[in-house]
Amino acid sequence: MIGLNETTAKRLATLSILFFSLLSFAAAQPTIRASARDYDGYSRAIITFPSSLPFTLQKQDNLLAIRVNSTSRFRLKADPVQSRLIKSFSWVQGGDMYMIIIEARHERFRQDSFQIQAKRQLVIDFYELEALPAAEKPGEEAQRVPTEPEEKPEPPAGEAATPPVEGNPQAAKGIPTIVIDPGHGGLEVGAKGKFGNLEKDITLAISLKLKALVEKNLAFHVELTRDKDIDVSLENRAAIANNHRAVLFISIHANSSYRHNANGSETFFLSLNATDEEARRLAYLENNSADLEKPLAPENEDDIKMILWDMAQSAYLKQSQRLAEIIQDELNSLLGTKDRGIKQAPFKVLTGVACPAVLVESAFISNPQEERDLVREAFQENVAQAIYRGLVRYIKLLS
Amino acid sequence: MKKRSISPVQWTLLGLSLIVVLVLAAVLFRGEGGEKIKSAVETTPPEKSSESEPAREAKAIQIFFLSEDDALLHPEKREILAGPSAVEEAEQAVQELIRGSEKGYISPFPPETKLRQLFITKAGVAYVDLSREIMEKHPSGSSAELATVYSIVNTLAYNFKPIKKVFILVEGSEKETLGGHINLSQPFLPLYSLNAK
């Protein structure tokens, strides 16, 4: 009998632990963790990602979907859920996305989310709508302290993702929101003109003018995806629209091409790179909602729900096209630029927007003459005025 | 009874070799769970043409360049070497696009752009992997991005039957956009409405 002394036994034990830990490490898919917990006045879901992944949030009825754009496959490990408002966590995957679905017990909630970058955590607070006193003022929310203070992280400064709905008291009062998206921002400067002007500055200037016009003359609240020179990801721009339940989304840009002579104004709406499956769903939509100017019938909502997550904009293409036509018409009559017409293209920023959405290319910053126009106050005012008139006509059309 | 002893050095060696084996196993294991793209690469290894092959025939294709007069893509004829598979033909088509127009149209690619790799999956998606200059030197406007994307997509889908869709990669990985506009995170179907009539 071969005796093993204590040291060798210890070495063997260490080796076998090493063996099994390596084996399990090798076999594991990246894991996304999910947990839910109730606090005074709200329920909090915490999603912990294995790495920094881009995602978007979308609410549909009693579901909140976190769409992760990645071809990787994940394992969702959810702690047992015992919560007043959060019912369950589930997931679906396909193609280039993985989606975590948080099911709430009913649809009467609103969510407020923020990220803790250091922990790769997404924190989503669910507020039950009836539970909120009508007189509650924006800002009060910030003073609520969860029962466990260490669970209350500070939202990162400048984090523009999914702004809290508290900041939007108009929505609570039933005033519809129009989201205006000044293209680019921060380090992402967009196109540059020959004279050094930047697309991001022009888009912000026009957007601020448009916001002022709408709020002065129409009973709409305007939310900007940025109101200063900061970076906002394309997905967060769509998420801002959806979180505010925007009724219209207008993205404002200045165009650029290869040669100085390209010129004119054009308005885009989304085209889908439809797969067969998506095409089938789209065909379903079109057959079952002949009048797309009207909201979709409730009996179709289940089918639409499936579509909305991966192609939020697809349900609104006809409205978006109409909105694009009308805005382009007004740009033509007010700007004196070449009419490049309306076009369909797969714009990232429009993809996830769940309302009629267009992208306006006001003029070419790569054309020296138009660059000079684009920085003129009067020209910017005209672009804003044209889009504003387009919005008025579109809204009239609906009512 | 005499204890058969193994010296600590032997144990250490044994342990080290076990670890090496396990790490190797782990690496192989993880490779299996890699992304779709990797498996796509593996399924269609680029076939190297060798000197001994018989001379390939010429094949005529139409490649599409931008005109800024009408903002549409205009065809130009090119003769490329036929076969041995659609991969080699598609590579030549992309290289011709980068090389530029002979009729004064615009090649919507920074001239420094290199084609790093091209492969076609069984499902008919051509992955076109371009070098970083495609983003770094791109004019970054909606029109410029549209021209770049659909010059490639329309050229490949128009000429090569096995290609139904085109996925554009930059430096081997998926990018959100070239410059903030057109969505690169999914494969493109051709958009022939951008071609001149």
Whether residue A271 and residue B191 make contact (CB cut-off 8 A), yes or no, is: yes
Shortest CA gap A346–chain B (Å): 6
How do beta strands A97-104 and A55-60 pair?
A: unpaired
Q: Alpha-carbon distance A330 to A383, whole Å?
A: 9
Q: Which residue of A has its CA nearest to B146?
A: A345
How do beta strands A248-255 and A357-364 pair?
A: parallel
Average pLDDT (A68-85) is 82
Average pLDDT of the residues of chain A: 78
For residue A85, give every residue at least 6 positions away whose Cβ sits within 8 Å of its Cβ, in sequence order, or none.
A38, A42, A43, A104, A105, A109, A126, A128
Whether residue B185 and residue A348 make contact (CB cut-off 8 A), yes or no, is: yes
More confident residue, A40 or A43: A43
Q: Is B127's pLDDT higher than 90?
A: yes
- On whether both A256 and A373 belong to a single domain, the answer is yes
- pLDDT band per the 50, 70, 90 thresholds, residue A138: very low
CB B151 within 8 A of CB B111: no
Average pLDDT (A86-104) is 81
Nearest to A369 by CA among A336, A342, A343: A336
Alpha-carbon distance values, A79 to A132, A209, B1, B123 (Å)? 28, 48, 55, 38
- What is residue A272's predicted lDDT score, i.e. its pLDDT? 74
Shortest CA gap B139–chain A (Å): 6
Q: Is A397's pLDDT higher than 60?
A: yes
List pLDDT tens digits, range A308-326.
Answer: 445 678 778 889 999 999 9
Ranges A7-11, A186-190, A276-280: which has the least confidence: A276-280
User: Which chain B residues have a beta carbon less than 8 Å from that of A74?
Assistant: none
- A323 burial level (CB within 10 Å; 0-12, 13-18, 19+): buried
Q: What sign does the CA torsion over A288, A292, A298, A304 have?
A: positive
Q: Is A289's pLDDT higher than 50?
A: no
Contacts 24+ apart (CB under 8 A), A143-150: A144/A39, A144/A40, A144/A41, A144/A42, A146/A39, A146/A40, A146/A44, A147/A39, A147/A40
ipTM: 0.72
Q: Is B35's pLDDT higher than 50?
A: no
User: Which chain B residues have a beta carbon less than 8 Å from that of A194?
Assistant: none
- Which one of A164-168, A290-294, B177-181 scores highest in mean pLDDT? B177-181
List pLDDT tens digits, range B150-172.
Answer: 999 999 999 999 999 999 999 99
To probe the interface with B, which of A1, A257, A261 has the most B CB atoms within 10 Å?
A257
Q: Is B115's pLDDT higher than 70?
A: yes
- CATH code (residue A57): 2.60.40.3500
CB A168 within 8 A of CB A177: yes
Q: Is residue A278 part of a domain?
A: no
More confident residue, A144 or A396: A396
Q: Is A259's pLDDT higher than 60?
A: yes
- What is residue A15's predicted lDDT score, i.e. its pLDDT? 59
- pLDDT band per the 50, 70, 90 thresholds, residue A17: low
Q: Alpha-carbon distance B121 to A247, whole Å?
A: 40
DSSP class of residue B50 equals -
Q: Which residue of B has its CA nearest to A10?
A: B11
User: Which chain B residues have a beta carbon less than 8 Å from that of A26?
Assistant: 25-26, 29-30
Q: Is B122's pLDDT higher than 70?
A: yes
Whether residue A364 and residue B141 make contact (CB cut-off 8 A), yes or no, is: yes
- What is residue A6's predicted lDDT score, i.e. its pLDDT? 64
- On whether both A79 and A173 belong to a single domain, the answer is no
B 35-54 near A (Cβ less than 8 A) = 35-37
Q: Alpha-carbon distance A91 to A358, whole Å?
A: 31
Q: Is residue A381 part of a domain?
A: yes
Average pLDDT (B65-91) is 93
More confident residue, A249 or A71: A249
Q: Which residue of B has its CA nearest to A25?
A: B26
For residue A290, give every residue at least 6 positions away whose Cβ sits within 8 Å of its Cβ, in sequence order, or none.
none
- On whether both A247 and A372 belong to a single domain, the answer is yes
Give the residue numbers spanning the domain of A103. Answer: 29-132
B 76-105 near A (Cβ less than 8 A) = none
To probe the interface with A, which of B74, B101, B107, B185 has the most A CB atoms within 10 Å?
B185
Q: Is residue A112 part of a domain?
A: yes
Q: Taking each helix axis from N to C terminus, what angle separates A276-288 and A301-310, rounded to the nearest 10 degrees?
A: 140
Beta strands (DSSP E) in chain B are 58-67, 72-81, 115-120, 125-130, 165-170, 173-174
User: Torsion over CA of A317, A319, A321 and A325, rounded to 10 degrees?
Assistant: -170
What 3-state class would DSSP assign to B151? helix
A 114-153 near B (Cβ less than 8 A) = none
- CATH code (residue A192): 3.40.630.40
- On whether both A107 and A241 belong to a single domain, the answer is no
Shortest CA gap B132–chain A (Å): 17
More confident residue, A146 or A315: A315
Q: Is A151's pLDDT higher than 80?
A: no
How do beta strands B72-81 and B115-120 pair?
A: unpaired
Q: Is A24's pLDDT higher than 60?
A: no
Give chain A's domain count. 2
- What is residue A148's predicted lDDT score, i.e. its pLDDT? 39
Whether residue B182 and residue A345 make contact (CB cut-off 8 A), yes or no, is: yes
Q: Is B149's pLDDT higher than 50?
A: yes
- On whether both A182 and A251 belong to a single domain, the answer is yes
More confident residue, A275 or B154: B154
Alpha-carbon distance values, A49 to A33, A75, A77, A119 (Å)? 7, 10, 11, 8
- On whether both A373 and A224 belong to a single domain, the answer is yes
- What is residue A12's predicted lDDT score, i.e. its pLDDT? 63
Q: Is A101's pLDDT higher than 70?
A: yes
Nearest to A40 by CA among A85, A81, A89: A85
Q: Is A139's pLDDT higher than 90?
A: no
- pLDDT band per the 50, 70, 90 thresholds, residue A40: confident
In this structure, what token pair is assigned to residue A1? 């009998």
- Locate the domains of chain B by residue range: 58-194
- pLDDT band per the 50, 70, 90 thresholds, residue A75: confident
Run of H or E including A248 = strand A248-255
Shortest CA gap A271–chain B (Å): 10
Q: Is A158's pLDDT higher than 60?
A: no
Q: Is A370's pLDDT higher than 90?
A: yes
Whether residue A255 and residue B142 make contact (CB cut-off 8 A), yes or no, is: yes
CB B92 within 8 A of CB B81: yes
Q: Which residue of A has its CA nearest to B106?
A: A258
**Which residue in A71, A257, A351 is closest to B35 by CB distance?**
A71
- On whether both A361 and A255 belong to a single domain, the answer is yes
- On whether both A95 and A181 belong to a single domain, the answer is no
Q: Is residue A8 part of a domain?
A: no
- What is residue B65's predicted lDDT score, i.e. its pLDDT? 97
Q: Is residue A175 part of a domain?
A: yes
User: Which chain B residues have a beta carbon less than 8 Å from that of A29?
Assistant: 33
To probe the interface with B, which of A273, A310, A358, A360 has the most B CB atoms within 10 Å?
A273
B 121-180 near A (Cβ less than 8 A) = 139-144, 146-147, 165, 174, 176-177, 179-180
- pLDDT band per the 50, 70, 90 thresholds, residue A16: low
Whether residue A256 and residue B1 make contact (CB cut-off 8 A), yes or no, is: no
Among A132, A152, A182, the domain-final residue is: A132
Q: Is B108's pLDDT higher than 90?
A: yes
Q: Is residue A145 part of a domain?
A: no
Average pLDDT (A236-262) is 93
- On whether both A315 and A204 belong to a single domain, the answer is yes
- pLDDT band per the 50, 70, 90 thresholds, residue A204: very high
Q: Is residue A213 part of a domain?
A: yes
- On whether both A249 and A341 belong to a single domain, the answer is yes
- What is residue A187's predicted lDDT score, i.e. its pLDDT? 92
Q: What is the DSSP string of A117-162?
A: GGGTEEEEEEEESTTS-TTPPTTGGGG---SSGGG-PPPPTT--SS
Q: Alpha-carbon distance A368 to A179, whole Å?
A: 30
How do beta strands A55-60 and A63-69 pair?
A: antiparallel
Q: Is B3's pLDDT higher than 70?
A: no
In this structure, what token pair is assigned to residue B134? 């495609």
Average pLDDT (A154-170) is 40
More confident residue, A280 or A135: A280
pTM above 0.95, yes or no: no
